[in-house]
Amino acid sequence: MASARHDHVHVPELPSGTITLLFTDIEGSTRLLHELGERYADVLAEHRRVLREAFSRHGGVEVDTQGDAFFVAFSRATDAVAAAGDAQDALGDGPVRVRIGVHTGEPVVTDEGYVGADVHQAARIMSAGHGGQILVSETTRRLLGATAEVRDLGDHRLKDLTAPQRLYQLGDAHFPPLRTLYRTNLPIQPTPLVGRERELEEAGTLIRSHRLLTSRGRGAAVRRAWRFSSPPRPSSSSPTVSSGSRCRRSATRPSSSGRSERPSAPTTA
């Protein structure tokens, strides 16, 4: 990503090593342009002034500016998060709503700026947020200490990143769901599943000898697992694992096509 060129300002040397990257973007900038008309240029300039003051106050180095977006680097994660908070406070309830993403890593410093996966990750984190929201990565969160007020938003898949990313929100304000891939309304699981060792062992034994295994328990949850290895010899029954320790086989009957069919009334465990 190219470095910003400002003829009227002295650009400090870019920090190196483990640094914290901050990206910003105006939410709904095109809509705002149509609503404000000629006033948009003044509003955009004021937005830039406010953000630059907040970043400079906490030692941020402006790496790049494109349109209504900023790319800033900080030597410390706490400074980056403090600058992000000050920027959002300064914008307040004004017409400009800015989304901010923060990530800590070790990008490579070149003559043109920073290069590396950490740069892309920080930008993707920012893109997942909403106007007024500050998102931070797991790496940044670990460097903030216990005093930081953050909200765990769970694991999310971001565009062009193979592994899911744990994201946190600075502050406790409420926003719509993040704009990430494969969104779901399932809550974050507070604790891992415990127990069921006997049932898991039984299911593992059954699935190694049957193509289809149906597990039934409370909440009418049904999970089916298919075995894609070499098929077993034909069997007249398929196993059913109940929520207890017993296993029952639900009978099947041949259809006119010669294939086995499940009975209309399932066997109860």
Domains and CATH numbers, the chain: 19-170 (3.30.70.1230), 197-261 (no CATH)
The structure tokens listed for 125 are 């984190």
* C-alpha distances in Å from residue 244, one per residue of 87, 200, 250, 262: 56, 11, 16, 22
The structure tokens listed for 138 are 């797991």
Phi, psi values for residue 27, rounded to 5°: -80, 130
The answer to pTM > 0.85 is: no
Lowest mean pLDDT among 79-88, 153-162, 170-179: 153-162
Condensed to tens digits (0 to 9), the pLDDT of residues 128-162 reads 999 999 999 999 999 998 878 999 999 998 988 88
Point out which residues pair with 240 in neighbouring strands: 214, 248
195 SS3 class: coil
pLDDT score, position 95: 93
Q: How confident is the model at residue 238 (pLDDT cuts 50, 70, 90)?
A: low
pLDDT score, position 189: 54
167 SS3 class: strand
Which of the pair, 159 or 266, is modelled with greater confidence? 159
CB burial of 157-193 (b: ≥16 within 10 Å; e: otherwise) equals ebeeeeeebebbbbeeeebeebebeeeeeeeeeeeee
Provide the strand spans (E) within 108-181. 108-110, 113-115, 134-137, 150-156, 165-170
